[in-house]
Amino acid sequence: MRVGLGKKNIVWGLDKRRTMWYSSTIIPLSIVMNMGNLLKISEAASLALHTMVYLAANDGRLATTHEIADLLRVSESHLAKVLQRLAKVGLVDSTRGPKGGFCLARSGDDISLLEVYEAIEGPLADTVCLLGEPVCRGEECILGGLLGTVNRQAREYLAGTTLADLTDVYGRTQDEKAQNDNQD
């Protein structure tokens, strides 16, 4: 498996021997399984990130919970709770009623992925040890600077990427599709 994170790729994978590799560093799977505290992206945070990018792509058009849940193939009630949290912190505006829905409270250019992530998960922690507290007797962690590098790159990517940077992920908006269908 290969995963790229932002402009500076963090490349990792899991080979047949169940060994994790990161760039040129080999890490046993037992350590990787404990990397959950390195960068946690819960389902709620993932929903929030995808929803916010979708709303940015729709540029002010109200989107219903049902519409977004269908697009993301997720529970409408779970998404509703995520949207309530985003509204509470002022990232989305909601309109009630039959023609209601959600839209961004500010321009997609002004909202970073980090702001969305932290609205759901709280502050992104700078993890320096997979065990919580350093237990190595040596001067350095057995993983070298891996944890610091991953944390820094993740924070830089999330902070440096706005919703507007990602609007093409969802292609044309529903309004654009409707306009093109009407022209045909």
What is the tens place of the pLDDT at every residue in 14-43? 444 444 444 444 444 444 444 445 566 889
**CATH fold of the domain at 41-171:** Arc Repressor Mutant, subunit A (1.10.10)
**65-68 contacts: CB < 8 A, separation 24 or more?**
65/101, 65/102, 67/101, 67/174, 68/102
Q: Which residues contact 34 (CB under 8 A, 6 or more apart)?
A: 130, 131
pLDDT of residue 112: 96
Q: Tell me: the pLDDT tens digits for 82-118?
A: 999 999 999 999 999 988 999 999 999 999 999 999 9
pTM: 0.70
Provide the residue ranges of all domains of the chain, joining segments of one domain with +.
41-171
The percentage of residues in the chain with a pLDDT greater than 70, rounded to a whole number, is 67
pLDDT of residue 33: 41
